[in-house]
Every structure is written in C-alpha cells, then in structure tokens.
Amino acid sequence: MKAGRLFWRTSPFVAALSVMAFACAPKAPPLRGVTARPALPELSILPAHSRLVFDWKYEDPDIHARGDGAARTAFPDSARVDLFLEGGLGTAVAVLIGDTLRAPGPDAVKRMIPPAPLLWAALGRLAVPPAADTSARLDGDTLRADIGRDKVWRVTIASGALVRLERIDGGRIVQSVRRADDNHVRYYDATARRSLELTITRVDRNADVDASIWSF
C-alpha cells in the first residue's frame, strides 16, 4: 500500500492533475485605481478578549460538512478557532499565536483550516510577511496593494477594514479570504477546490478567556 501511494504522488498523472488544478485558479486582474503610497494601515483583531460565535460550512471534492463554532481572540496576536461538526460527530481546532498555526488531528480535519495569514484575515487582522516589493492603488475609498513579487499577497481594504486577502502565484489567485461584511466570511482554495464559509451570529466583547485554551 505504501508503495502504491508513493507511485500516485510522483506519477505523471498526478503531476498533470496538479497542473490542471492550478489552471482552474482565476487569473488575477491588474490593480485598479491611482497610484498610492504603499503604506498600509494597521488592521488588528478586537482589543482585549473577544469571542465570535458562528455557523460554518465546509466543502471540497470529498467532504461536505457543516456545524457551529467559536473564535476566541486575545489582542494583539492570539486566537483559537473551534469548529464543531453538526450532530456532535467531531471537531476541528486551530490555535494561532503570532504567525504560528497549530491544528492537531487527522489530515481530513487539518485541511479545513486555512493557512495562518488567511485565517487571520478571516478574523479581520492583516498579518502577512513583510516585503520590500509593495505597490498600492487607491480607487475611491478602496485601497488595494500587492505585497511581494513572485508569490504575491493582494490586500483589499475598504473604509478602513480588511475585505479581501488573496494569494497570487503565477498570476493566478490560488487562495483567498473574502469578508463580504462583518458577518460573512469565505475562504477558498482554488487549486484544491475547497471552501470554508463562516456566518457570524454573535460577538462578545470583553469575554472571559481561560489561558488554558492556547494549549492542547
């Protein structure tokens, strides 16, 4: 069995599938608007301790799942996200401390969790690796910026809030987080055709957060 799995991972057939999946990712349009200073505002999570309660839905070619969950945050750079599967059949957990993401459990559970910068974006925080190659354009009250060169983080900020973060590779948008408003967030991985949608139902500010939640 092990040799069979290794064959499929390295075969030309799998390589072709990877190329096809990449080709399905949409092309990134050029930045719109007038040239602006590349300095971006600081976009952080809510101050003090907060708790966000939400419903969620996850889909990929093999799994369709839904349930409810909660995100507990501690300013400036700590968060824990719990996804509870409908019917009490399981859970997925992720802890973010700075740019370090821990998501224990089987691979089927881990793949439900976005990478650290995109998970932070889902919570409204901009936390991408800094890069000297940054260009920005202003279109009305919307600021768009590309951070990096070969693999680019594209940031969209409207009215001072983070509304979209995209990962661009080879001119194509391979992963993204879109915050339609304060209550609706969608993560999408175009190469794996997987998505995670959150509908926030309640925000508790100054919530009690037990220090033990950051370890498991």
Per-residue pLDDT of the chain (216 residues; tens, 9 = 90+): 333 332 223 344 334 444 555 567 899 998 888 988 878 889 999 888 999 999 999 999 998 999 999 999 999 999 999 999 988 778 899 999 999 999 988 887 788 999 999 999 999 999 998 787 899 999 999 999 999 988 899 999 999 999 999 999 999 999 999 999 989 999 999 999 999 999 999 999 988 888 888 887
pTM confidence score: 0.86
CB neighbourhood size of 210 (10 A):
8
Domain boundaries, the chain: 27-214
Q: Which CATH number fits domain 27-214: 2.40.50, 2.50.20, 2.60.120, 2.60.40?
A: 2.50.20
Burial tier of 52 (Cβ tally within 10 Å: 0-12, 13-18, 19+): buried
According to DSSP, the residues that pair with 138 across neighbouring strands are 34, 143
Find out whether 156 and 121 touch, Cβ atoms under 8 Å.
no
Helix, strand, coil content of the chain in percent (nearest 5): 15, 45, 35
CB neighbourhood size of 118 (10 A):
23
Task: Determine the Cα–Cα distance for residues 46 and 68; give it in Å rounded to an integer.
Answer: 21
